[in-house]
């Protein structure tokens, strides 16, 4: 039990690192929350005009998700030799905690990002084939529509489906955990979904006032 709590606490600390906020503060001396949508994620960082910082934010947010799950897997293997990532309940739980930490970071009064990049990282660690399929769907959607939010919503919704189709052997916690992450990520895009329906959502490359 202590190792479980410590692993999940570490997953939260990793997930709560607000890389978008830090990078814009350090390099541009600005508060990204005062730009565009006010979100600290890579899409809004791109609206600052610094695409390099946006790419770095995306990479670091994904990396912290991957790292949290990988460390949880190492702990699982220490206590149960030979266990795979899709059979590790602790790794699945760490994935959920890490994504929630990105959305609710203690350092920013629990007002963080939308969890998509971090979810990509945890899914790449947990179910890499599923993550790549969802990423392909995201890229295709954004290329056709230029709506990052629509791509994110569809990719998140596809994760449980791809998990059922592509991961036949898994622990009982895996599907519920990936479903929780997907639902939370879609919920975080509820405002975007409303704007998509109304036709007022910003397309990729546009700037919000």
pLDDT at 136 over 50: yes
In this prediction, residue 197 carries a pLDDT of: 92
So where are the chain's domains? 2-198
pLDDT at 194 over 70: yes
In this prediction, residue 17 carries a pLDDT of: 97
* Tokens (6 digits) for 158: 């596809």
* Percentage above 90 pLDDT, the chain: 84
User: How many other CB atoms are there within 10 angstroms of residue 135's CB atom?
Assistant: 16
pLDDT at 209 over 50: no
At 65-101, the pLDDT tens digits run: 999 999 999 999 998 888 989 999 999 999 999 999 9
CA 53 to chain centre: 17
Residues 6+ apart with CB under 8 A from 25: 31, 32
Q: Supply the mean pLDDT for the chain.
A: 93
């Amino acid at each position: 039990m202590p190792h479980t709590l410590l692993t999940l606490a570490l997953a939260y600390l990793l997930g709560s690192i607000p890389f978008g906020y830090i990078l814009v503060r350090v390099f541009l001396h600005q508060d990204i929350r005062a730009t565009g949508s006010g979100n600290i994620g890579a899409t809004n960082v791109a609206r600052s005009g610094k695409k390099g910082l946006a790419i770095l934010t995306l990479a670091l947010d994904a990396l912290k998700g991957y790292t949290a799950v990988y460390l949880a897997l190492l702990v699982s293997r220490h206590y149960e030799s030979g266990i795979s990532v899709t059979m590790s309940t602790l790794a699945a739980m760490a994935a959920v905690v890490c994504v929630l930490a990105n959305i609710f970071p203690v350092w920013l009064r629990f007002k963080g990002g939308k969890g998509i990049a971090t979810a990509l990282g945890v899914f790449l660690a947990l179910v890499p084939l599923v993550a790549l399929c969802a990423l392909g769907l995201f890229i295709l959607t954004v290329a056709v529509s230029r709506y990052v939010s629509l791509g994110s919503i569809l990719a998140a919704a596809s994760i449980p489906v791809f998990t059922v189709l592509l991961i036949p052997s898994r622990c009982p916690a895996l599907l519920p955990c990936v479903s929780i992450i997907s639902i939370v990520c879609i919920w975080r895009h509820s405002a975007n979904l409303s704007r998509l329906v109304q036709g007022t959502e910003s397309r990729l490359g546009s700037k919000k006032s």
